[in-house]
Structures are given as C-alpha cells and as structure tokens.
Structure 1
C-alpha cells in the first residue's frame, strides 16, 4: 500500500508543478505585455508631443516677435482754437504678423489718408495731455482696423507708438 499511496502523491506533485509553472508563465506574459503597452503609449505620447511641442514653440516665438510698420512723418493743421496750430507726427504701428504689415504697406495711401482725417479733426488742447494721446491712439486703431477698399476685412492693429509728436502754434 505504501507504493500505491506514494503514486498518487507523485501525480499530485506533478500536476501541481505545471499549475505553478503555468501561473508563473501567465504573470510573466501579462507583465511583458503590460510593459510593452505602457512603453508604446509613452513613446507615442512623448514622440507626438515632441514634434507638436517644437512647432507650438516656434509659433509662440513667431507670435511674440513684434512686427512694426513705420509711418513716415507728416504735418497736419489742427482745428483752430486761438490761432493756427500744426502737428508734426511720426508713428509706428504694431501689428500681429508680417502679412498684416504687408497689407498695410500695400494700402499705405489709404492708411495715410485715414490718419490725416483723424489728426486734422483734433484740437491742440486735446492732444497735449497723455489722456488725449491715448484717446487718439484708440481712434487710430479703430480707423485703421476698418476694411480697406478691395480687401474683405480690416487689419488688426495692436498698438500705435508715436516716434515724433510736435505741436506748434503760429
């Protein structure tokens, strides 16, 4: 009977060994698959963001680089208060990008005409204060932001910088 009792025990061990081995193999396979999936996901996420991130960084640099359009100086008669007043002004427009700057250069006669109309409608006393200059800046941005003839929409003007601003009374 001793031999019969041992035989089932050896068979049970033999059956238990493959069960342990198959569980161990299953954990290894699941672990490897999990590592591959996580690695592939990380590769695609980091690989895709790297290229997009570089492009996005270039766009940010381009967007942050200011683009300016220089307006040549000119002289206008101001509205009369107590004698004749003249304004000699030179300015620079800040625009968001180079295509907008090119459009303004293309329509420069209309730009200068609009500026002349705005400036010649002012009185010297309105333009002597900082608040008056800020109001003038806002009005220039509004006027130049309207569409030009032949173009569908008006340009975006971010800011106006006065590089020369002289009011003279005669």
Structure 2
C-alpha cells in the first residue's frame, strides 16, 4: 500500500505565528537575563579588586620636622611662635624627596610663619588655615616644571605663641 502524500502533509503540524512570537520572546528574554547576569558578576569582580587595592594600600608615612622659632608680625609688642609639626605623606619615596629637599621646605615654612600675626594663629580655625597653607607651600614642586609633593596633612606636636 502506498501512503497518501496529502495524509503525510496533514500529519506534520503547521507552526503558528503565535508560537514563533513566543519562541522569539523567550530567546530575547534569555539573552537579556544572561547579559544582566554577566554585567552584575563583572561589576562585582571590579568592586572586589578595588576593595583589595584599598586594603593593600600602604599606610601613611610621617616625616617629623625640626622645631621652628620665628618672630611674628607685631601687634602688641614683640611676639614669637615656637612650632613643631609632622608631615603626612603616602609613600616612603615621598619621605626621601622631602628629606632631600629639607632646606627648601624649612625656608618656605619660615617665610610663611614669619608673615603671620599671633591673633591669626591663636584660634583652632587659624591653626587649620595654617596647616592648609603649609601643605600648599610644601607641595609646590622643588624644581621648575617638576612634580609636586604629596603631603596630605600637617600634625602639630608643639604650638606655642609668646
């Protein structure tokens, strides 16, 4: 017996446009979900790397400076400032740069301090302002077009106005 070709054609189901749309929608959804998951996990790895870098960063290094004694600008007679502080830098390389250029730093700080009045320095705000000015002065490059230093803080160890 011979099979009827029309019966064979009827046995193969026709794909409807709805099924095709559903298959395409599921495939698109799978692609979007996969892309979102990949982005999430890649961002998580980047965050972990940054966290490790922060944990592995060197602790700050401190450079103590010798005591400075300067005459202040006159207000009520002669006054002077006796000050000692420590500079905070990020690396040991910066310590070496600071130490190698200590005469320049001392000169810059002496010029800065001798231009001050006692009334400017006697308040906490005045001391914070002086810290900012010392940082700016020390961070100026030691040579023309050179790299600036990376001093991030001034920590006072002695501060006397008489």
TM score, norm. by length of structure 1: 0.62
Structure 2 alignment gaps of length 5 or more: none
Greater fraction helix: 1
The size of the alignment, in residue pairs, is 156
Structure 1 alignment gaps of length 5 or more: 1-6
Q: Partner of 1:114: helix, strand, or coil?
A: helix
CA distance in 1, matches of 2:110, 2:56: 32
- Contact 2:67/2:85 (<8 A) preserved: no
**What's the counterpart of residue 129 of structure 1?**
123
**Offset of 1:101 from its aligned partner?**
4.8
For the aligned residues, what is the CA RMSD?
A: 4.0
Q: Which of 1 and 2 has greater Rg? A: 1
CA distance in 1, matches of 2:130, 2:102: 19
**Offset of 1:165 from its aligned partner?**
0.8
- Matches for 1:49-88 after TM superposition, within 5 Å: 49-61=43-55, 67-79=60-72, 81=74, 82-83=77-78, 85-88=79-82
CA distance in 1, matches of 2:128, 2:122: 11
